[in-house]
Amino acid sequence: MRILFVSSEVAPFAKTGGLGDVSAALPRALRAEGHDVLIVAPFYQRVRTPERRFERVLPETEVVLGGRSLRFSVVAARLPDSDVTVLFVDCPALYDRPGIYTQDPDEHLRFSLLGWAALKLCQYTQWAPDIVHCNDWQTSLLPLTLKTMFAWDRLFDRTRTVLTIHNIGHQGAFPSSVLPDTGLADAAHHLHQDQLRDGRINYLLTGILYANAITTVSPTYAREIQTTEHGVGMDGFLRARRSVLFGILNGIDDAEWNPARDGRVPFRYSRDDLSGKALCGQRLAETMKLPHRPGVPVIGIVSRLAWQKGFDLCFDVLPPLLARRDVQLVVLGSGEGRYEELFSRLARQFPRKVAFHKGFSEPLAHLIEAGSDMFLMPSRYEPCGLNQLYSLAYGTPPIVHRTGGLADTVHTWNPTTRKGNGFAFDHFDASGLAWALGYALETWGKPAEWRAMQYNGMSEDFSWKRRVGAYEDVYRGVL
Ligand code: ADP
Ligand code: GLC
pLDDT tens digits in sequence order for the chain, 479 residues long: 999 999 999 999 999 999 999 999 999 999 999 999 999 999 999 999 999 999 999 999 999 999 999 999 999 999 998 999 999 999 999 999 999 999 999 999 999 999 999 999 999 999 999 999 999 999 999 999 999 999 999 999 999 999 999 999 999 999 999 999 999 999 999 999 999 999 999 999 999 999 999 999 999 999 999 999 999 999 999 999 999 999 999 999 988 899 999 999 999 999 999 999 999 999 999 999 999 999 999 999 999 999 999 999 999 999 999 999 999 999 999 999 999 999 999 999 999 999 999 999 999 999 999 999 999 999 999 999 999 999 999 999 999 999 999 999 999 999 999 999 999 999 999 999 999 999 999 999 999 999 999 999 999 999 999 999 999 999 999 99
Q: What global pTM score does this model have? A: 0.97
Task: In whole angstroms, give the CA distance from residue 327 to residue 256.
Answer: 29
CB of 365 closer than 6 A to ligand 1? yes
Q: Ligand 1 pocket check: which of 362, 386, 396 to mutate, most ligand atoms within 8 Å of Cβ?
A: 386
Calculate the alpha carbon distances from 59 to 78, 89, 115, 121 in Å.
Answer: 19, 11, 18, 10
* Residue 113 CA from chain centroid, whole number: 22
What is the CATH T-level fold of the domain 2-251+465-478, as seen in this structure?
A: Rossmann fold (3.40.50)
Cis bond upstream, residue 105 (ω within 30): no
CB of 385 closer than 6 A to ligand 2? yes
CB of 26 closer than 6 A to ligand 2? no
CB of 168 closer than 6 A to ligand 1? no
CB of 251 closer than 6 A to ligand 1? no
pLDDT at residue number 255: 82
Q: Ligand 2 pocket check: which of 134, 167, 382, 392 to mutate, most ligand atoms within 8 Å of Cβ?
A: 167
Amino acid, res. 474: V
E strand or H helix at 429? none
Q: Ligand 2 pocket check: which of 217, 221, 230, 302 to mutate, most ligand atoms within 8 Å of Cβ?
A: 217
Task: In whole angstroms, give the CA distance from residue 205 to residue 176.
Answer: 14
pLDDT at residue number 154: 98
CB of 250 closer than 6 A to ligand 1? no
- Phi/psi for 204 (5° steps) reads -60, -45
**Closest by alpha carbon to 364, among 290, 284, 274?**
284
CB of 383 closer than 6 A to ligand 2? yes
Task: In whole angstroms, give the CA distance from residue 469 to residue 479.
Answer: 15
In sign, the C-alpha dihedral spanning 330, 332, 334, 336 is negative
Sheet holding 328-335, edge to edge: 354-358, 328-335, 298-305, 374-377, 398-401, 423-425
CB of 207 closer than 6 A to ligand 2? no
Q: How far is the CA of 165 from the centre of ligand 2 (A)?
A: 9
Domain range 275-461, CATH class: alpha beta
CATH 3.40.50.2000 range(s) for the chain read: 2-251+465-478, 275-461
Q: How far is the CA of 1 from the centre of ligand 2 (A)?
A: 26
Which residues sit opposite 470 in a β-bridge? none
Q: How far is the CA of 385 from the centre of ligand 1 (A)?
A: 8
Q: How far is the CA of 360 from the centre of ligand 1 (A)?
A: 9
Query: What is the crossing angle of helices 430-444 and 314-324, to 10°?
Result: 30
**Closest by alpha carbon to 145, among 202, 187, 176?**
187
CB of 18 closer than 6 A to ligand 1? yes
Q: Which atom of ligand 2 is nearest to the CA of 169?
A: 8
Q: Which atom of ligand 1 is nearest to the CA of 19?
A: 2
Do residues 288 and 355 lie in contact, with contact meaning Cβ atoms separated by under 8 Å?
A: yes
In sign, the C-alpha dihedral spanning 235, 239, 245, 250 is positive
CB of 11 closer than 6 A to ligand 2? no
CB of 270 closer than 6 A to ligand 1? no
Do residues 374 and 396 lie in contact, with contact meaning Cβ atoms separated by under 8 Å?
A: yes
CA dihedral 79, 83, 84, 88 (to 10 degrees): 50
- DSSP annotation of 10: B
Which residues, other chains included, contact 132 with Cβ-Cβ below 8 Å and sequence gap of 6+? 4, 6, 118, 119, 142, 143, 146, 159, 160, 161, 162
Ligand index nearest the alpha carbon of residue 19: 2
CB of 382 closer than 6 A to ligand 2? yes
pLDDT at residue number 78: 97
Q: How far is the CA of 54 from the centre of ligand 2 (A)?
A: 28
